[in-house]
Structures are given as C-alpha cells and as structure tokens.
C-alpha cells in the first residue's frame, strides 16, 4: 500500500498547477503579441510605395528549407506538411503538426484580380505589388505564426485544454473602378487563440495610367491633410451621420482624441465623389462596433485637393 509522503505530492501538484496557470497567462499575452505582429506584418505590405521587386512566380507548393527550420521546434526533426491550392486567384495553405497530422494553421487568400480593369505596365506593377505582399505573408505563416500555433497546441495539451487551429482568411474586393483610379479593399479575419478573432481592413488605391500606389499626400495639395480630414469626420460624427454601424454617441468617451491618435493615412479609399476614411475595430469604438468608415466629400474639401487629383478624378486619364 502506498504511504503518504508528508504532503510532498500535494505540494508538487499545487506547484505544477501554478506553473500551468502561469504558462496559460503567458500564452494569452503571447497570443495578443503575435496577433499584433500578424496585423502589423499584413499592414506593412500595404505600404506607401510599390515594392521594387521583380515579378515572381506563384507561391511555391512547399516551404523553403529555411522557412521549415523556422517553423519547427528545436526538439522536432521533421517539417510541417504544407498543402496549397492550385488556383492563382485563390490560394490556401494548411500547415499540419508532423507529430499527429492535425492542422495547426490554415490561411486562405483571395487575391485581387485586375484583369480587364488595367493592362500593360500598369497591370504588371499591380501584380508585382501583390506578389511581394503575399510572398511576405506566406513567409510569416509558415514561420513565426505556425511555430506559435504549435506552442499553443502543446500548452493546451499540457493544461488539459482544447487547441483550436489558427486561421487567417483574407478576401479582396474592387470597391472603385473609375477612369483614372482603382481602389481595392482587403479584409483579413484572423484567429490566433483567445476569446475571439480580429478583423482588419486594408486599403490600396492605384493609378490606372501606371499602376502606381496612390497615397494621401498625392490627393491633397496641403501637407496638413490630417487636420482637414479629422475636422470633416468630427463634424459628421457630431451630426450622427457616420457611414459605420455606430453613431457618435456610441464611440469611446474620448473618441475625438482617438480619432487623432488612431489616424492612419494609408486607410482610405478613393471613390467617385468622396474619400472613404477607415478606422479599425477598437480604434474609436468598442470591438462590437467593428470597423468604422466616414465619407469625406470632394466638394467639401475641394480647395485642399491637389490639382492633379482633381483633374484625374473628374477628367479621367
């Protein structure tokens, strides 16, 4: 018959439980950090200028050896298996745990298709932009994010919990096809652990003549375009005339301060009669409010717009 050991086993059990709880807390913090890094990585590929990279082939079916080494834990000898779709516009990457074959991460991307909307050098420039963008995203998925998913899975097993595979779903939409400009919206839904996923909206505006990415500085004649836009948004919000689901009274109490602090000059779409300014979830309102958008009419800020932009938006190429 087994004899008690002066409470040693109980103390060890309590100590182990404490360690597991601490690991769980650290996992939550790492989840928040990795989610932020993921969104920052995705945001980086929506930069202000077209990447100076040559056109690339479609994403490879298998990750490179370096990427596989980054994705694997030090005590594992094998790389994760990666399965990809064959469609050019729609691509899916599934990374599985080599130990049990269970999925760790699934990333599904629907690429923007500008065929028939632009041609020649302009189309090639836009294609190069997204080639570089998705190449960088894939490197992150099969590297850092897959590694973190593997750690999350092991931690869940150690603590008797359930691991939910990470997912990244990215869709795209042509929101404006004018005579001079093309506006593309990319929505990224990501789940990397935690109570719920995250949603980000990325905005890209291209000049049809050359495929160049259009920045907010290109649209305005004044360098202080931020003040111009914030003034318009504040006026519309006070009139409860937002384009988002929530009106001004449902924003954070310090929403005017957050309008300024959260302003992202790359988060806008060109439209036929107005700019659409985008604020992400949590920027100025609770998570439940989702993404907030505001229309800023050209007619209200015509004196602030650049001469070239006015000629292009109203006169075409």
Q: Say if CB 112 and CB 172 are below 8 A apart.
A: yes
- Which strands, in side-by-side order, build the sheet including 268-270? 268-270, 274-279, 292-297
Q: Say if CB 292 and CB 246 are below 8 A apart.
A: yes
Its sign, for the CA torsion 317, 173, 122, 216, is: positive
Domain boundaries for CATH 3.30.565.40 within the chain: 12-207
Please report, in tens digits, the pLDDT of each residue of the chain (317 residues total). Answer: 444 455 555 555 455 544 444 544 444 444 444 455 555 555 556 544 443 333 333 333 333 333 333 433 333 333 333 333 333 478 899 999 988 999 999 999 999 999 999 999 999 999 999 999 999 999 988 888 999 999 999 999 999 999 999 999 999 999 999 999 999 999 999 998 877 899 999 999 999 999 999 999 999 999 999 999 999 998 877 665 444 444 545 788 888 888 899 999 999 999 999 999 999 988 988 888 889 999 999 999 999 999 999 999 998 54
Instruction: With CA atoms as reference, report the closest residue to 186 among 233, 136, 130, 226.
Output: 130
Give 144's strand partners. none
SS3 246: coil
Please state the length of the chain: 317
pLDDT at 301: 97
3-state SS of 102-130 is CEEEEEEEECCCCECCECHHHHHHHHHHH
Domain boundaries for CATH 3.90.640.20 within the chain: 216-315
Give 191's strand partners. 167
- 0.85 cut: is pTM over it? no
Q: Is CATH 2.60.40.740 the right assignment for the domain spanning 12-207?
A: no
Residue 195, token pair as written in the block: 């109570």
Instruction: With CA atoms as reference, report the closest residue to 137 among 111, 113, 163, 115.
Output: 111
For the domain made up of 216-315, give the CATH fold: Actin; Chain A, domain 4 (3.90.640)
Instruction: With CA atoms as reference, report the closest residue to 302 among 219, 216, 203.
Output: 219
The Cα 185–Cα 208 span in angstroms is 16
pLDDT at 302: 96
Residues 292-302: b if buried by 16+ CB within 10 A, e if exposed: bbbbbebeebe
The helix, strand and coil proportions of the chain, stated in percent and rounded to the nearest 5, come to 40, 25, 35
pLDDT at 8: 59
């Amino acid at each position: 018959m087994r004899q008690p050991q002066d409470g040693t086993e109980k103390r060890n059990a309590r100590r182990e439980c404490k360690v597991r709880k601490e690991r769980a807390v650290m996992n939550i913090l790492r989840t928040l950090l990795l989610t932020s890094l993921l969104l920052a990585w995705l945001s980086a590929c929506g930069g202000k200028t077209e990447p100076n990279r040559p056109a690339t082939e479609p994403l490879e079916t298998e990750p490179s050896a370096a990427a596989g080494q980054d994705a694997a834990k030090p005590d594992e000898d094998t790389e994760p298996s990666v399965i990809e779709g064959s469609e050019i516009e729609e691509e899916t990457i599934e990374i599985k745990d080599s130990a049990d074959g269970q999925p760790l991460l699934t990333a599904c991307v629907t690429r923007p298709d500008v065929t028939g909307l632009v041609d020649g050098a302009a189309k090639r420039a836009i294609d190069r932009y997204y080639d570089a963008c998705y190449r960088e995203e894939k490197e992150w998925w099969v590297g850092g994010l897959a590694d973190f998913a593997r750690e999350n899975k092991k931690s869940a097993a150690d603590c008797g919990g359930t691991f939910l595979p990470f997912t990244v779903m990215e869709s795209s939409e042509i929101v404006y096809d004018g005579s001079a400009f093309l506006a593309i919206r990319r929505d990224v839904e990501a789940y990397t652990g935690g109570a719920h996923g995250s949603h980000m909206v990325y905005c890209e505006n291209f000049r049809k003549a050359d495929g160049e990415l259009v920045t907010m500085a290109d649209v305005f004649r004044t360098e202080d375009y931020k003040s111009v836009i914030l003034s318009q948004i504040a006026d519309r919000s006070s009139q409860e005339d937002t384009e988002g689901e929530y009106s001004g009274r449902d924003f954070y109490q310090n929403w005017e301060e957050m309008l300024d602090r959260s302003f992202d000059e790359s988060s806008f779409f060109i439209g036929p009669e107005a700019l659409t300014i985008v604020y992400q979830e949590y920027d100025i309102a609770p998570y439940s409010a989702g993404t907030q958008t505001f229309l800023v009419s050209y007619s209200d800020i015509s004196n602030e717009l650049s001469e070239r932009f006015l000629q292009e938006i109203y006169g075409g190429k």
